[in-house]
Amino acid sequence: MSLLSVFGRWYWRKFSDPDAAMLLILIILTTAVLLIWGDLILPVLVAAIVAYLLDWPVTRMVRLGISRTLSSVLVLLGFVAISILLLIGLVPIISRQSINLIQETPLIWQNAQDWILTLPDKYPDYVQVYHIHQMMGGLNEKLVEVGEQLISASVSSLADIAALLVYLVLVPLMVFFMLKDKNFFLTSISKVLPRERRLITQVGHEMNSQIANYIRGKAIEIVIVGAISCIAFAVMELRYAILLGVLVGLSVLIPYIGAAVVTIPVAVVAMFQWGISPEFWYLMLVYSIIQGLDGNLLVPLLFSEAVSLHPLYIIVAVLFFGGLWGFWGVFFAIPLATLVKALITAWSSSPEPLQPSV
């Protein structure tokens, strides 16, 4: 049996069903639109994501007898008010601590070099001075490159201020209409979809609950982990406690990888402040406890079995979708991986089509 015939039999088994074929076509068209016009329709996508998040409280208010228009206005105003309070309360502190940390980075790096230069005297059989100078020369070159990239990024970001203003005006407006006229938009989308949409509906229902559970759980996880980290760092009088606590909270967006990456700035700042001392080890112990409670207690409570993916699949999804769509790709890596899993399940469970006539 030739390879072509094997592929043909597999294709006929999976995609001769009209529902499966329509699902495949919809996925191809959606992916093409996102890849080609993703940057242009990004405000619409952001508004859709925010509206999806806010639809849950709007729906609950409608069930209590409040009109959908009034519910949409109240929920949107509450969301904007909370966002403004967070910006007013956190952004100035985080900005100030970030500037201070950037200003002290050369001093931190100089202290690190001084410590590294003591290694040949402490371990002459294992570390040579030549190797140390060679390594530090390469690191210094990399740091210069990173600094130049940061400067160019900061200059180019000035052009994004206008885009930010557009977001601040257009996105809330689009969110309001998406919440208020939800049924109208759903009906319009339903008219565009093909009639052969059994699998599309099946995957849509499964992903609706998956994404809703994931986003709500992830938002709660970020708030809890970030707040506990900020409090713990502040109590232990760690410098840049708010900045590092917020970074720890945001690190849960990227499972496994985020926790490993954010450990570096926490350990570097603690070592610069206290050196290798009991205070340093106490802080790292507290940080390890926070990470352990997050992974072994908080995540199972928030997500339960809603997202049951192997860690390897999660890491691959973060790398793949993050490379495609940046921050939003990282944020939705797990739901997108779950979507892939739901698609595979739907195609595998589709009824066997009639065999082609020979």
Which contacts of 230-237 are long-range, i.e. CB under 8 A and separated by 24 or more positions? 232/286, 232/287, 232/290, 233/283, 236/279, 236/282, 236/283, 236/286
What pLDDT sits at residue 147? 57
What pLDDT sits at residue 357? 41
Whether the model pTM is above 0.85? no
In a domain, 68, yes or no: no
Q: Could you tell me the sign of the dihedral formed by the alpha carbons of 228, 76, 45, 303, in that order?
A: positive
DSSP state of 354: P
Out of 57-66, 146-155, 188-197, give the one with best mean pLDDT: 57-66
In a domain, 289, yes or no: yes
Choose the weakest-confidence range: 169-173, 192-196, 212-216, 227-231: 192-196
The CA–CA distances, whole Å, from 332 to 49, 207, 255, 345 equal 10, 12, 12, 20
Cα separation, 231 vs 339, whole angstroms: 37
Range of the domain at 309: 197-358
Cα separation, 145 vs 150, whole angstroms: 9
Task: Please give the average per-residue pLDDT across 144-166, as a whole number.
Answer: 55
Cα separation, 93 vs 245, whole angstroms: 12
pLDDT > 50? residue 84: yes
* 56 sits in which H/E element: helix 42-63
Per the structure, the count of domains in the chain is 1
What pLDDT sits at residue 75? 92
In a domain, 304, yes or no: yes
In a domain, 71, yes or no: no
Task: Please give the average per-residue pLDDT across 124-130, as a whole number.
Answer: 62
Q: What percent of the chain has pLDDT over 70?
A: 67
pLDDT > 90? residue 231: yes
For the CA atoms of 213, 218, 219, 222, the dihedral, rounded to the nearest 10 degrees, stands at 160
What tens digit of pLDDT does each residue of 85-110 get? Answer: 887 877 778 878 778 777 777 777 77
DSSP 260-315: HHHHHHHHHHHHHHH-SSHHHHHHHHHHHHHHHHIIIIIHHHHHTTSS---HHHHH
In a domain, 140, yes or no: no
Out of 177-186, 202-211, 317-326, give the one with best mean pLDDT: 177-186
Give the chain's mean pLDDT: 76
What pLDDT sits at residue 338? 76
* Angle between helical axes of 160-180 and 182-192 (0-180°, round to 10): 90
Cα separation, 353 vs 63, whole angstroms: 43
